[in-house]
């Protein structure tokens, strides 16, 4: 299946999602991101949605832009953030702040040893954190990106990609 076929399969009630999907995967629709970054973010977001069709379509297209190591880095971002987002969302939302002072005791070595460009990994982690709804992680990744001179437009583009792909997965699951 191609991206176009996936978009065509979206139901009529998801017309806005169709229109948005068509724009987010291009540099014109994702300000301040390279085509490579767009597909990295899209692939990490697709993994996070757990939608097999979306993953398959984006992995096939992303292979045109990403090395096998970068593709694996997007799996790593989705994987580690699926753990961290749960843990840190709990820390952030629970009223007893004692938990915030306790050691996490979770291995997170991949965050420092992912083997790809640091900014690209951070953008992917931000997208995954947005889908998973972890405010604490979104804040941490946004701060890291800003400290590394990533523009607010690039950060917004990352979130837009995550939002549209999440809505695409949701809409295709409904049928």
Instruction: Say yes or no to pLDDT of 49 above 90.
Output: yes
Domain 33-174 -> CATH class: mainly alpha
Region 109-113: what's the mean pLDDT?
80
Mean pLDDT for the stretch of residues 156-175: 92
Which one of the listed residues 137, 138, 150, 164 is annotated catalytic?
Answer: 137
pLDDT, position 175: 58
CA distance 133 to 90: 11
User: What residue segments make up the domains of the chain, in order of their start?
Assistant: 33-174
Residue 134 bears catalytic tag:
yes
Averaged confidence pLDDT in the chain? 95
DSSP letter at 26 equals S
**Which pTM does this prediction carry?**
0.94
Q: Which candidate in 25, 58, 74, 134 is catalytic?
A: 134
pLDDT score recorded for residue 172? 86
> Does pLDDT of 105 surpass 80?
yes
Is 125 known to be catalytic? Answer: no
Confidence of residue 114 (pLDDT cuts 50, 70, 90): confident
Contact between 41 and 62 (Cβ < 8 Å): no
The b/e string for 29-68 (b: 16+ C-beta within 10 A; e otherwise) is bbeebeebbbbbbbbbbbbbbebebbbebbbebbeebbee
Q: Give residues with Cβ within 8 angstroms of 95, minimum separation 6.
A: none
Q: What is the mean pLDDT of residues 156-170?
A: 97
* CA-based torsion, 65, 119, 58, 115: positive or negative: positive
**Overall average pLDDT of the 52-71 stretch:** 96
**What pLDDT is attached to residue 24?**
96
- Position 174 pLDDT exceeds 80: no
């Amino acid at each position: 299946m191609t991206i176009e076929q996936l978009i065509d399969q979206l139901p009529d009630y998801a017309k806005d999602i169709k229109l948005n999907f068509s724009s987010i995967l291009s540099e014109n629709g994702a300000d301040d991101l390279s085509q490579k970054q767009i597909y990295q973010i899209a692939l990490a977001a697709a993994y996070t949605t757990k939608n097999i069709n979306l993953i398959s379509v984006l992995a096939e297209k992303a292979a045109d832009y990403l090395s096998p190591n970068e593709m694996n880095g997007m799996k790593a971002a989705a994987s580690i953030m699926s753990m961290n987002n749960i843990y840190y969302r709990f820390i952030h939302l629970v009223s007893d702040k004692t938990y915030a002072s306790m050691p996490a005791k979770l291995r997170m070595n991949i965050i420092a040893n992912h083997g790809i460009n640091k900014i690209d990994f951070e953008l992917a982690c931000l997208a995954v954190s947005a889908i998973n709804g972890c405010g604490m992680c979104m804040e941490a990744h946004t701060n890291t990106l800003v400290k590394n001179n990533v523009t607010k437009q690039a950060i917004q583009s990352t979130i837009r990609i995550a939002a549209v792909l999440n809505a695409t997965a949701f809409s295709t699951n409904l049928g």
